[in-house]
A and B are shown apart, each in its own frame.
Chain A
Amino acid sequence: MKSQSPDPGPFGVMVHKEIADHIRSWRFSILIALIVLTFIAAMYVSLANIKSAIGNTKDPDHLFLYLKLLTTTDNSIPPFHVFLSFLAPLLGISLGFDAVNSEQNSGTLTRLMAQPIYRDNLLLAKFVSALVIVSGLFFALALLMIGGGLVLTGVRMEPQELLRILGFIVITIAYVAFWLSLSIMLSILFKQAATSALTAIGIWLFFTIFYQIVINLIVKSFLPDPAYLSQAEIIRYNDLILNLQRIAPNQLYSDAVTTLLMPSVRSLGPVTMEQMAGAIPAPLPFKESVMIVWPQVSGLMASTVGCFAFAYYFFMRREIRS
């Protein structure tokens, strides 16, 4: 059956093998189980509360049933996209932290590099194979959710909703890709898999927990008493804090998915009364939401590409010996 297909070339062969490795590994099975369980829990809670959410006519988004399925919660557990903002890094890190150094330690890297393949193909194969798996996983989850929602409620789906959910999936994949390329880079820098895993987890913890605290502390130290500031100055300081927080990839991610999943979000920064005057609280069209999150998405992509470029730089001229 395979002999009929065209020769996949060394890159295809490597991707094939890496995907097979991931699927067979315990590590990946555990992570899938974790994410699927989270998904089921979030769906369960949102299905229980969907009736009141749809009935809430004060909410301009109340008619988007499928978006509500993803975002509704009774505050007992966070909604799925918030869960993902800290599970996705874990997924990316665990798929990439030992990509290169484990091969080096087991002596397979020398053997692999002695074959007629380009070095960057190895890195790309590691990256692409993990991404293929992650994309498969998230698309499967999203489609399951949509299908399940259709069967359970029988409500027709707006094209806009489908686009927004697919956008959410794509951004989630880009977010995983960032952590994946970061951890692949660390796996090249550090000889020991444990060191690179700990470093990656350290970076992740820093951005999820400490980064906001640090920013607040720093800004507080030079922020004058708000009571003495004009409104324009307050907005300026607010912008500063927000922009500093947007250095953290998880901030970018949660900004982007919130905007996509809640069509009534119009701006990610503070909005003045003048700007709000005359605005009708109504959902934005899909295109406008995408325009709002575009900087976030390009930021995520840029950091992914940046990490990958560093990985490439470190790997290309390095001496391979076991």
Chain B
Amino acid sequence: MKDPIIQLKGLTKQYGAVKAVDGLNLDIDKGEIFGLLGPNGAGKTTTILMMLGLTDPTSGTAFVCGHNATSSPIHVKRKVGYMPDSVGFYDNMTALENLVYIGRLNGVPENELKKRSAEVLEIVGLAADQHKKTSAFSRGMKQRLGLADVLIKNPDVIILDEPTLGIDPTGVRDFLALIKQLSRQQGLTVLLSSHHLHHVQQVCDRVGIFVNGQLLAQGDIGALSAQLFGTDSHVTSIKTAQPVPQPWQLEAELQAWEAITQIRIHENELEFTSSRDVTSALVRFLVEKGYDVIGVNQKNYGLDDIYQKYFESNSTKKTSYEKSIS
């Protein structure tokens, strides 16, 4: 039985005339890693703040771990660890002191505190630097300490706002691997927001695309591409040894296949767009007709393309809107 740990219903936040978040409905199940993907200013941070009761929604409700985030934020904050996008620490304190302070605020008993903080620092790989002042920390180390901060309270849900921002590629990979590992080992629910498609693609079970305060689509990456590109979701490109003559007499024959919707020819490269996967049939057909196939490439839509497509449709909508008001 599915019992979503985060439930957002018609969540709306209005700043003056601008709707930062517009009627957001979202369910996130226990134990999954959900990626909230959107460009800057899409309302991701506002949504997260509303989930923690740090800002009040104009309308709608956010239920996290069974508590209403607006009316009982304290209960929510006991269960949820939140790492803000630009996490800051008290510069005059060491990493350990910063961590212990947060542990105390969360009511971790004094006799367990030492053990717990040592454990958590070990997990995030900062055990060697625990007595350094945080003013000397690099961005990547601060992010790790931020994660330690989140873990020390033993949360059910982790919310990470732009966790990969400003860390170098290896750092990002390690960080995301760490998050994934933690989620799988401890059954944590993770919500992470990002505008980096590849990062989200690496770890997330499900992705929600969030543009201008609206959740345009959600699901796993495969489902998203099907939802978006509809019937045109399969593209096969085939390379042959000899250039294909123009015009090509076989083209008409292939056009007759009901699955194929489009054929593009560029010297020795053929690109077929089809409603279902016809790659093997195409290769067989070409070989029978005496073509030497030297390369077959089945194109899967990545998050990049999905994102691009949403972005395009969104920007055209925007320009048409601007035209209508001018």
A positions within 8 Å CB-CB of B: 2-3, 7, 9-10, 13-14, 17, 21, 24, 106-108, 110-118, 317, 319-322
Contact = CB atoms under 8 A, between A and B. Distances in A.
Nearest to B82: A114
B183 to A, nearest CB: 19
A118 to B, nearest CB: 7
Contacts of B77: 114-117
B280 to A, nearest CB: 53
Contacts of A10: 104-107
Given A110-B54, A113-B54, A114-B54, A13 B86 contact: no
A320 B54 contact: yes
A8 to B, nearest CB: 8
Contacts of A2: 110
Interface stretch (B28-36, B87-95, B173-181, B186-194): B87-95
Nearest to A104: B88
Interface string B129-141: 0000000000000
Contacts of A112: 105
B55 to A, nearest CB: 4
Given A116-B74, A116-B78, A111 B88 contact: yes
B269 interface: no
Contacts of B87: 107, 110-111
> Lowest 7 A-B CB distances belong to which pairs?
A107-B88, A114-B82, A319-B55, A106-B88, A110-B84, A116-B77, A13-B104
A115 B54 contact: no
18 contacts: A3-B110, A9-B107, A10-B107, A13-B101, A21-B92, A106-B88, A110-B54, A110-B82, A110-B87, A110-B88, A111-B87, A114-B81, A115-B102, A116-B78, A116-B105, A118-B74, A320-B55, A322-B86
Nearest to A117: B105
Nearest to B50: A319
B78 A107 contact: no
B149 interface: yes
A289 to B, nearest CB: 44
A108 B54 contact: no
Interface in B36-50: 45, 49
A117 B88 CA distance: 18
B8 interface: no
B107 A7 contact: yes
Contact of B101 (A3, A9, A17, A114): A17
A122 B174 CA distance: 35
B56 A321 contact: no
Contacts of B55: 319-321
Contacts of A113: 54
Q: Which bracket fits the contact residues of B?
A: 20 to 34
A317 B111 contact: no
A9 to B, nearest CB: 8
B165 to A, nearest CB: 12
A103 to B, nearest CB: 8
B149 A111 contact: yes
Given A114-B84, A115-B102, A319-B55, 6 more contacts: A14-B105, A106-B91, A112-B105, A114-B80, A115-B106, A320-B54
Contacts of A13: 101, 104-105
B88 A114 contact: no
A24 B105 contact: no
A24 B52 CA distance: 33
Contacts of B80: 114
B16 interface: no
A317 B89 CA distance: 24
A2 B52 CA distance: 32
A317 B104 CA distance: 25
B290 interface: no
A107 B83 CA distance: 11
Contact of A114 (B52, B90, B104, B109): B52
Contacts of A114: 52, 54, 77, 80-82, 84
Interface string B98-124: 000110111101110000000000000
Contacts of B82: 110, 114
A110 B75 CA distance: 17
Contact of A319 (B54, B109, B110): B54
Contacts of B75: 116
Nearest to A106: B88
Residue from A9, A24, A110, A112 having most chain B Cβ neighbours under 10 A: A110
Contacts of B109: 3, 7
Contacts of B88: 106-108, 110-111, 322
A176 to B, nearest CB: 24
A299 B197 CA distance: 60
A10 B49 CA distance: 21
Contact of A107 (B56, B74, B86, B110): B86
Nearest to A109: B88
Nearest to A118: B74
A111 B105 contact: no
Contacts of B81: 114
A302 B74 CA distance: 31
A111 B106 contact: no
A191 to B, nearest CB: 15
A111 B84 contact: yes
Contacts of A107: 84, 86-88
A111 B56 CA distance: 18
Nearest to B97: A17
B106 A116 contact: yes
B149 A24 contact: no
A108 B89 contact: yes
A116 B153 CA distance: 10
Residue from A9, A108, A116, A118 having most chain B Cβ neighbours under 10 A: A116
Contacts of B101: 13, 17
A3 B112 CA distance: 10
